[in-house]
């Protein structure tokens, strides 16, 4: 469960600056709820190219807000602070068949029951989840960005899967799409709506994107055929 403090009888979710080290080099500082930090470290190392697969990660250790990872690949990039801007960089992408939008909407009902609003309505947090071949991986986090990174880590520890549909209560941005693309996600659903960078990224990568648009319900905003539309409007 997410970590929190109680102030004047109110549950307040904890957000802390977490430092990630790869092969003794500081590679990132990420604001996150201090839970599932091993998943955060694995997801970050993989989605940033410090590991080609889970077998490249030799060791993961967590001490307070420090995550140290040893990989078979060398880490040479300068450390960067990941804020809430939502604009990402595509490191690598695995191509998967686009998910069926009707199935994505149907499964959204199951996801809604797993959100923090249902699990603990007193905590103000984002919920991210990954439907993998009938199973659900769920993360509650103070940041929708770090939540997706943790999902990637959980997926790698699970051992992979074929059908992968991601869900989030937050706005989908390009950095979230790009990280999910590293595991070959087939579709993404946002209960809040995407940012334009997220729509553009999903369309370019051929990932089905569905959003719960206010007063319009679930709307498909991106399918593979939208690639040309996005390109022409760039």
- Quick: pLDDT tens for 110-123: 999 999 989 898 88
Over residues 47-72, mean pLDDT: 95
pLDDT for 99 beyond 50: yes
For the chain, domains (ranges, CATH) are 12-82 (3.10.20.10), 101-233 (3.40.140.10)
In the prediction, which pLDDT does 230 show? 43
Q: What is the pLDDT of residues 161-184, one digit of tens each?
A: 999 999 999 999 999 999 999 999
Under the banding of pLDDT at 50, 70 and 90, the label for residue 80 is low
State residue 41's pLDDT score: 97
| Distances from the Cα of 40 to the Cα of 92, 104, 187, 199, angstroms | 18, 25, 21, 24
Choose the weakest-confidence range: 46-50, 67-71, 84-88, 95-99. 84-88
What's the pLDDT score for residue 76? Answer: 61
Query: Which positions ≥6 away from 145 have C-beta within 8 Å?
Result: 30, 82, 84, 86, 173, 175, 176
- When pLDDT is averaged across residues 55-59 and rounded to a whole number, the result is 96
Q: How does residue 96 score in pLDDT terms, banded at 50, 70 and 90?
A: confident
SS3 state of residue 194: coil
Residue 234: pLDDT band (50, 70, 90) is very low
> Please, are residues 107 and 211 in contact by the beta-carbon 8 Å criterion?
no
């Amino acid at each position: 469960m997410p970590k929190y403090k109680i102030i004047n009888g109110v549950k307040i979710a904890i957000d802390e600056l977490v430092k990630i080290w790869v092969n003794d080099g500081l590679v990132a500082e990420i604001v996150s709820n201090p839970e599932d930090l091993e998943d955060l470290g694995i997801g970050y190392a993989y989605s940033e190219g410090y590991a080609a697969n889970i077998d490249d990660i030799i060791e993961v250790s967590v001490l307070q807000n420090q995550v140290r990872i040893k990989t078979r690949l060398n880490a040479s990039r300068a450390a960067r602070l990941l804020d809430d801007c939502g604009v990402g960089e595509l490191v690598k992408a695995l191509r998967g068949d686009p998910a069926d939008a009707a199935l994505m909407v149907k499964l959204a009902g199951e996801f809604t029951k797993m959100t923090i609003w249902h699990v603990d309505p007193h905590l103000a947090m984002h919920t991210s989840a990954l439907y993998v071949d009938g199973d659900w991986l769920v993360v509650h986090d103070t940041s929708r960005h770090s939540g997706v990174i943790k999902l990637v880590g959980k997926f790698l520890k699970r051992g992979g899967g074929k059908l992968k549909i991601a869900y989030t209560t937050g706005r989908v941005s390009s950095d979230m799409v790009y990280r999910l693309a590293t595991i070959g996600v087939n579709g993404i659903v946002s209960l809040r709506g995407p940012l334009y960078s997220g729509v553009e990224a999903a369309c370019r990568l051929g990932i089905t994107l569905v959003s719960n648009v206010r007063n319009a319900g679930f709307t498909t905003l991106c399918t593979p055929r939208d690639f040309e539309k996005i390109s022409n409007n760039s």
